Structures are given as structure tokens and as C-alpha cells.
Amino acid sequence: EREREGEREREREREEREREGEGEGERGEREREGERGRERERERERGREGEREREREREGEGERGREREGEREREREREREGERERGREGERERGREREGEKERGREKERGREREGEREREREIERERERERESEESEVRPESLSPEELEMLKEAVYERKKLVQGLRGKPWPMKEKLVTLRESQEFVEKYEGALGKGKGRKIYAYKVMMSKKWMKFQRDFENFKTACIPWEMKIKEIESHFGSSVASYFIFLRWMYGINMILFCLTFGLVMVPEALMGRPYGTIPRKTVPRAEAASAMDFAVLWDFGGYAQYSVLFYGYYNNQRAIGWLKFRMPLSYFLVGVGTVAYSYMVVIRTMARNANESGVGDDNSFNFSWKMFTSWDYLIGNPETADNKFASITTSFKEAILEEQESCKDDNIHLTRFLRVLANFLVLCCLAGSGYLIYFVVRRSQKFALEGLETHTWWERNEVNMVMSLLGMFCPMLFDVISALENYHPRVALQWQLGRIFALFLGNLYTFIIALMDEINLKREEEKIIKFNITMWEASLYNATGSENSTALPVTFHPADVPRGPCWETMVGQEFVRLIISDTMTTYITLLIGDFLRAVLVRFLNYCWCWDLEAGFPSYSEFDVSGNVLGLIFNQGMIWMGAFYAPCLPALNVLRLHVSMYLQCWAVMCCNVPQERVFKASGSNNFYMAMLLVILFLSTLPAIYTIVTIPPSFDCGPFSGKKRMFDVIQETLESDFPAWFSKVFSYASNPGLVLPFILLMVLAIYYLQSTSKSYKEANVDLKKKLQTVPETRLSFFSHLAPLLLLLCAFGYTGIKFAV
């Protein structure tokens, strides 16, 4: 059928060529004859064409020729379909357009058959002659009816679409240039003509604006790519180490971008307004260093610990005043604080999910394992490698992976001594669980001890005892993964599976540590709240004593003057939480950098210089240079971000700190990688797609916002510090804003919307929608499998049709399935 279509197509071409040869007048006549006459001629031609087709086939164009024709057919089909929809009235216009397109089609055909450039130039000249002829007999645009104008506009529009799609066509540049220039000429000629009809001013204006818009878009894209930082650094790393190591740095850069946005939000909407428009330092009790601490408030040790002046500044929650509107702008500070907190979380969710969606779309269904060998063959070479040493490593790793895959395939039935392996694996998992439990208990113990120390007064203890918690957490994070590595030697898994287990265990370790830390923190919060009640009582006593001292003369209210530094202060638990997180982040950063310097740099220096006087070859043997641990570093980055998300509500300075930290990390690690690391010998990614790390990030985001949300919703804020002081719950600020700042009907609508009677059916509806989407995706999957089976059982004679069309159908189904699966 398709061949017949192709024949019909070629007949029409010959027809056009004939028509031209006969001249203008006869062309009009021929058109007036009508379709039937053309059909009769086509039948006559078909015979001749069939012969010519068979000849060409016999020449042996091969599959590729047919495929290219198929592509061309599809293109022409598309163009033809657009034309067929229009009526017969604009046929003269269509005729001229079709000529141009068919000429180009014929040109492309001949180009592919490689008859040579001379032919093409001859064609171009011939076409130019024909265009000149057509120009002479050009129809005045005013004499065209509106429908013809419309059709002309559509033709121009289609031509523009063709130009836009040109860069995705696998033609040589010369052909693309020719097509581009001709299309542009056509568009200019007819756009100019169109512009003379009715509504020409608006049309011309639209055309000019769309041209300017496209130019602006292109310039903006160029500008955006020029703005991306560290591009050259990453490219150098890519060429030396391959794309898996570079993917860590690309991830780091992406995180940097997110933290930049979070920093702008917190800095611009929370820290700056309070600093500029709020009451200055020293005016109210919460903004002043208490008298007792004032002596040591400027010490470096205290500042490094984020006490003293650092504590009583915009960096922490406790500084903010609970005044509803500040400054001449009437900036709603408490509302802004709350909304920024919610907004950072919402923005992070949006960005992570959007990136996951984009990755899922681009890479198809990543968890399909049915193409192992083909993928190893076709996609394992990393074209970014530009360094011969890396290339050699890559060759070796590819060979190893081939050999291993072949062995696995052969040995998949062999199953020696499964009981021993199973026992060993159970033992290994038990050991790992013991490790995790041990580390959790250690952290809990250390946190309780530090509480005890705090009660006794921090100055009486050594530096280690003061920073115990953070050091213990960082050290655990460094040594436990090595322990897991050793234990996993018992398990005897395939390296990729072993890597996944390893990552899972490290994930569990970090998570466990973090949550133990939070639980310990909760205990401290409760302690502080108990303390608060006592302080409140003390304050009433103190105020009473003040009044007594100065108010013995008058019984009416007196202006009691006291210095803000003297007021007894409540233990602001929110600031305490913020401080803990900041200290944790700082010690984590320090540990990472020191490990980097000692573990990588010092080791490399030792191996390099001791090698001259050592008995065995240090470079090839035991220590040798270290490899860059991609997955470990990515996990570290993800957990670091989790801590930021957890603490950002109580310490608005955290995103700023993180931006600084990531900036320094980028330069330090780039230098360390290029200087001290060697390319990996075996490249095993944890999972093929980037989505694995994105999924972990999403889980961490969810898990780290849970504690913050819990504290916001259940614990009442401190009575004398922070923007929510004096309220019963922190989110009461929303209620207050709704009542006072919005018109009355708004709060009524809101109260209706939050009615359980409305929310429950909505949730039910969403559950039903999810169920529906799930079942649709299942049915697409089954259709996919069916089509595949059909493709394999189809007899050989019909193969040429299927082999082109059905994989397309399969691809379409696969994309549909992916889309639905993702939406679910």
C-alpha cells in the first residue's frame, strides 16, 4: 500500500513537471479538468512508475533507501494532508507551493542517491527559472479571495514549521542550508504579498513581533548557557574521569542553584526587613545580650559556637520581634517569616519533582532490564573521554563487564552451596543491624551527656566534651561505611547489587543518626519549656520588685525604666534548636574537608614521595591513589541538604551558610579530584538513571520537613522570643492575617473550604483518580507486551510494513505508559 502511495506521489510529480512544460494556460485547463482526469493519467503513469520502482529496487538501494523514502513519505504525507483539507479553490496557489516542495523533495532524493552536486545545482537553476516564470505570472494578492488568503497563510505557517524542524533532520548541512534559504525566500515573498490584503497592518505587526521574539529567545538561550558557572572545570573533569564522576559535580552545581534561591528568599524576605525596618539591637529584651553574658559576648570561641552577639542577631529565630507590621511599608514580619518557611519547603518539592519528571521523560523507562547486552554494546562508551589513560581504563572496564555478563548468563543455572551463602548473608545483615543500633544508642547517650554538661555550665568542660555530639556524629558517618564495606565481603553479591546494599545501609545509618539526634533534641526542648514556666514566674516576681522599688509614691502606672539587658530571659528553645543545627552543619563540613585533605591529599603525597624508598610499589599495590567515591559523596550532599531543610525555619542563616559551603566545596573538590584521584577501574553506577539520587533527595526532603512541621504544629512558641511569641500556636498568624487583613467574605470562604465535609470528598476523589490512572497504566503495559509478541510472530512477507510501523507504535505505547506511570 505504501509503495502504491509512493508511486502515486511520484506520478503527481511527473504530472507537475509535465504541466509546467506545457505552460501556464494549459496548466489552468488541466486543473479545470478535475480529479478524475488526473486519476486516469495516474493509472497510465503507475505502470511506468512501477517499472521504474522495480528497477531501482533491483539496483539494490537496500533497506536504508527504503527507510529514507519512508521518512520522506511521512514528511510529504504530513504536508499533503494539510493541503488536502483545503478546498479546490486555492489550487493554483497550492499548485505553485507543491511544485516548490516537490522540487525540493526530488532534489533530496537525488542527493541521497549520490548523483553528485552538479545535478543539484542544475536542479536549483531549473527551479529558479521556474520560480522566475511563476513570478512573472504572479497573482495580485488583492485579487485573491479571503479563503485563498487563509490557505496562503497556512502554507507560510507550514513552511515556518519546516524551518523550525530542520535542525532535527539528519541531512548534511548543505541540504539544510538550501532548504532553509528557499523556505525563507518563499516565506518572505508571500508574507510581503499577504501583508497587502485586509488587516495587513496587524498581520505585518504580528510578523515583526514574532521575528523579534524568536531572536530574543535565541539570544536569551545563548546568554543562559554563558551564565552557567564552572562549565570549563566540569568539562575537564569529564574528559579525565568520565561522566559518572562528573555527574557528582553537576549535581553539586544544581544543589548550589537551589540553595541560592532559598538564600535569596530567606535573606530578602526575612533577614533584611528585620534588620532594616525592625527595632534595632538593644531596644528590647529579646534583641539584647543579657547582662550575665555580656562580658564574653565578643569572644571568638563564643562566636564560633554561635553564642554571644551571633545569637542575638538576625541569624536566629529569637531576635525577631512579634510586632504585626513594621516600618513605613507596614511589612507583615511574622506572616512573612511563616510563609517563607513554608515557601522554601514548597519550592524544594516543586524543583525536585520537576527534575524527576524531566529525567523520567528523557530516559524512558529506566528499570527495564531486558536490553542488558545491547546497552553494553551501544551505550557503554563515554564519548566525553579525551584522555588516553582514561580511555585505556574504559576499555578494560568494558571488557571486564562483557566477560562478566557472559559468565553470568552461562552460570545463571548454577547454584552451588546456596545454604552457606544464605547463612552468610543473614549473618551480615544481623551484624549491620547491630552496628546501626549501636550507633543510634551512642548518639543518644552522647546527647544526654551534653545536656548534663550544659546544666553544669559549659565553661568547666574541655573542648571535646563541649562538642561531643557533633564530633561523634561526624566520626560515625566516616567510619561506619567502611565497616559496612568489610561486612559486605561476607555476602558475595554481584558488584552492582553490593553497591546498592551499601548505599541502602549508609542511607539507613545517616537517617538513624539524624532521627536519634532529633529525638534527643526534643527532650531538650521539653526541658527548656519546663524551665520557661519557672522563668515566667520569676519575671512576675522581678517586675513586682521593680514596681515596689520605684512606685511607693504613686499608685498609678509609672514609666518603669530598666535596661533591656537586665530583664530575666526565657530559654528560647527555638534559637537553641537553630544553634544546634548550625553547629552540626559546621562540624560536618569541617570533618568532610579534613577527611578530604588527609584521606586523599596526604595519601597521594605519601604514595608519590615514599615510593622512591619503599620496598613494594606503593602506586600499584596497597595504598595507591584513591578513587573518587561518587555515591558516598552524593549521599553526603543529600544529607547535608536534609539538615538544611530541617533547620532553616529556626535559623534563617542556614541557607546562606550552605551557599558558602557549597561554593568552597566545589573548588576544593575539583582541585582534589584532579590532583589526587585516579579514574575508577570498574564503573558501576548504583542504578542507571539519575532518578535514583533524585528519589533519595525527595525522601530526605519529606523526612526532614516532618520534624519541623511537628514542632510548628504541636509546641507553643516561646513567650518572649521570635516573631510568634505570645500566640498559642505558630500557625495562628495565618488566622490572624485572614481576619484582619482580608475582607470579611474571604475568611468566610476559607472557613467553608476547610470544612471537613468538603475536604473528605476531595481526598476521596483524588484516591479514585489515582486508582484509575494506575489501572490505565497497567492496561498500557499489557498492550505493550501484546504488541511485542505480535511483532515476533508476524510472518516474513508482511515484515516490511511492520518493521517500520510497529516499532513506532511500540515507542508510542511506551511513551504513553511512561507518562501515565509517572503521573501515578
Residues 632-691 that bind another protein (CB under 8 A): 688-690
Q: How far is the CB of 467 from another protein (least distance, A)?
A: 42
Q: Which is nearer to another protein, 65 or 290 (CB)?
A: 65
Q: Which of 368, 404, 456, 681 binds another protein (CB under 8 A)?
A: 368
Stretch that binds another protein, among 236-244, 463-471, 664-672, 674-682 (CB under 8 A): 236-244
Segment 168-187, which members bind another protein (CB under 8 A)? 168-170, 172-174, 176-177, 180-181
State the Cα–Cα distance between residues 783 and 778, nearest whole angstrom.
9
Residue 444 near another protein by CB under 8 A: no
State the Cα–Cα distance between residues 16 and 103, nearest whole angstrom.
10
Q: Which is nearer to another protein, 493 or 802 (CB)?
A: 802
Q: Which of 342, 398, 597, 703 binds another protein (CB under 8 A)?
A: 398
Stretch that binds another protein, among 480-488, 604-612, 732-740, 795-803 (CB under 8 A): 795-803
Residue 63 near another protein by CB under 8 A: yes
Q: Which of 205, 213, 254, 395 binds another protein (CB under 8 A)?
A: 395
Indicate the SS3 state at residue 722.
coil
Strands 677-678 and 626-627, by their bridges, are parallel
Q: Which is nearer to another protein, 388 or 559 (CB)?
A: 388
Which positions from 269 to 308 touch another protein by CB under 8 A, shown as an x/- string?
Answer: ----------------------------------------
Give Cα separations from 652 to 67, 178, 270, 338, 702 (angstroms).
Answer: 61, 58, 8, 11, 20
Q: How far is the CB of 789 from another protein (least distance, A)?
A: 10
Indicate the SS3 state at residue 742.
coil
Q: Which is nearer to another protein, 430 or 801 (CB)?
A: 801
Q: Which of 385, 469, 576, 712 binds another protein (CB under 8 A)?
A: 385
Q: Which of 58, 84, 88, 167 binds another protein (CB under 8 A)?
A: 167
Residue 816 near another protein by CB under 8 A: no
State the Cα–Cα distance between residues 711 and 428, nearest whole angstrom.
37
Neighbour tally for 798: CB within 10 Å: 9
Q: Which of 270, 96, 324 is nearest to 648 (CA)?
A: 270
Q: What is the DSSP string of 262-309?
A: HHHHHIIIIIHHHHHHSPPTTSSGGGS--TTTGGGTT-HHHHHTT-HH
- Tell me the sheet residues that pair with 678: 627
- Tell me the sheet residues that pair with 627: 678
One-letter amino acid of 375: W
Stretch that binds another protein, among 34-42, 214-222, 460-468, 728-736 (CB under 8 A): 214-222
Q: Which is nearer to another protein, 376 or 461 (CB)?
A: 376
Q: Which is nearer to another protein, 222 or 751 (CB)?
A: 222
Q: Which is nearer to another protein, 417 or 792 (CB)?
A: 792
5 CB-near residues (< 8 Å, 6+ apart)? 73, 77
Q: How far is the CB of 223 from another protein (least distance, A)?
A: 9
Contact assessment for residue 422 and residue 491, using Cβ atoms and an 8 Å cutoff: no
Q: Which of 277, 297, 384, 824 binds another protein (CB under 8 A)?
A: 384
Segment 403-442, which members bind another protein (CB under 8 A)? 403, 406, 409-410
Give Cα separations from 154 to 71, 79, 88, 181 (angstroms).
Answer: 23, 11, 15, 19
Segment 447-506, which members bind another protein (CB under 8 A)? none
Residue 78 near another protein by CB under 8 A: no
Q: What is the DSSP string of 419-481?
A: HHHHHHHHHHHHHHHHHHHHHHHHHHHHHHHHHHHHHH-GGGS-HHHHTHHHHHHHHHHHHHH
Segment 103-132, which members bind another protein (CB under 8 A)? 116
State the Cα–Cα distance between residues 357 and 643, nearest whole angstrom.
25
Q: Which is nearer to another protein, 488 or 689 (CB)?
A: 689
Stretch that binds another protein, among 385-393, 520-528, 659-667, 754-762 (CB under 8 A): 385-393
Q: Which of 166, 342, 454, 546 binds another protein (CB under 8 A)?
A: 166
Q: How far is the CB of 390 from another protein (least distance, A)?
A: 7
State the Cα–Cα distance between residues 92 and 17, nearest whole angstrom.
15
Decide: residue 533, CB within 10 A, 0-12 exposed, 13-18 middle, 19+ buried: exposed
State the Cα–Cα distance between residues 17 and 35, nearest whole angstrom.
17
DSSP code for 326: B
Terminal alpha carbon distance of the chain:
40
Q: Which of 208, 363, 319 is nearest to 579 (CA)?
A: 319
Q: How far is the CB of 794 from another protein (least distance, A)?
A: 7
Overall residue count recorded for the chain in this entry: 824
Q: How far is the CB of 498 from another protein (least distance, A)?
A: 20
Residue 222 near another protein by CB under 8 A: yes
Q: Which is nearer to another protein, 336 or 393 (CB)?
A: 393
Q: How far is the CB of 397 from another protein (least distance, A)?
A: 10
Contact assessment for residue 499 and residue 684, using Cβ atoms and an 8 Å cutoff: yes
Q: How many residues bind another protein (CB under 8 A)?
A: 82
Stretch that binds another protein, among 5-13, 16-24, 138-146, 165-173 (CB under 8 A): 165-173
Q: Which of 446, 445, 553, 431 is nearest to 486 (CA)?
A: 431
Q: Which of 438, 517, 534, 429 is nearest to 473 (CA)?
A: 517
Q: How far is the CB of 776 from another protein (least distance, A)?
A: 21
Extract the C-alpha cell encoding 648.
532553616
> Which residue intervals of 652-690 are DSSP H helices?
654-676
Q: Which is nearer to another protein, 79 or 238 (CB)?
A: 238
State the Cα–Cα distance between residues 626 and 604, nearest whole angstrom.
8
Residue 208 near another protein by CB under 8 A: no
Q: How far is the CB of 67 from another protein (least distance, A)?
A: 6
Residue 361 near another protein by CB under 8 A: no
Stretch that binds another protein, among 205-213, 359-367, 708-716, 719-727 (CB under 8 A): 359-367
Q: Which of 44, 104, 113, 117 is nearest to 76 (CA)?
A: 104
State the Cα–Cα distance between residues 30 and 42, nearest whole angstrom.
13
Q: Which is nearer to another protein, 124 or 335 (CB)?
A: 124
Q: Which of 157, 254, 381, 614 binds another protein (CB under 8 A)?
A: 381
Q: Which is nearer to another protein, 87 or 116 (CB)?
A: 116
Which contacts of 439-444 are long-range, i.e. CB under 8 A and separated by 24 or more positions?
A: 439/476, 439/480, 439/509, 439/512, 439/513, 440/512, 440/513, 440/516, 442/472, 442/476, 443/469, 443/472, 443/473, 443/476, 443/513, 443/516, 443/517, 443/520, 444/516, 444/519, 444/520
Segment 544-563, which members bind another protein (CB under 8 A)? none
Q: How far is the CB of 823 from another protein (least distance, A)?
A: 19
Q: Which of 254, 373, 547, 742 binds another protein (CB under 8 A)?
A: 373
Task: Give the CA radius of gyration of the chain.
Answer: 37
Segment 752-791, which members bind another protein (CB under 8 A)? 788, 791
Q: How far is the CB of 822 from another protein (least distance, A)?
A: 14
State the Cα–Cα distance between residues 214 and 219, nearest whole angstrom.
9
Q: Which of 372, 735, 751, 779 binds another protein (CB under 8 A)?
A: 372
Q: How far is the CB of 359 from another protein (least distance, A)?
A: 8
Contact assessment for residue 262 and residue 348, using Cβ atoms and an 8 Å cutoff: yes
Residue 822 near another protein by CB under 8 A: no
Extract the C-alpha cell encoding 559.
514609666
Q: Which is nearer to another protein, 135 or 796 (CB)?
A: 796
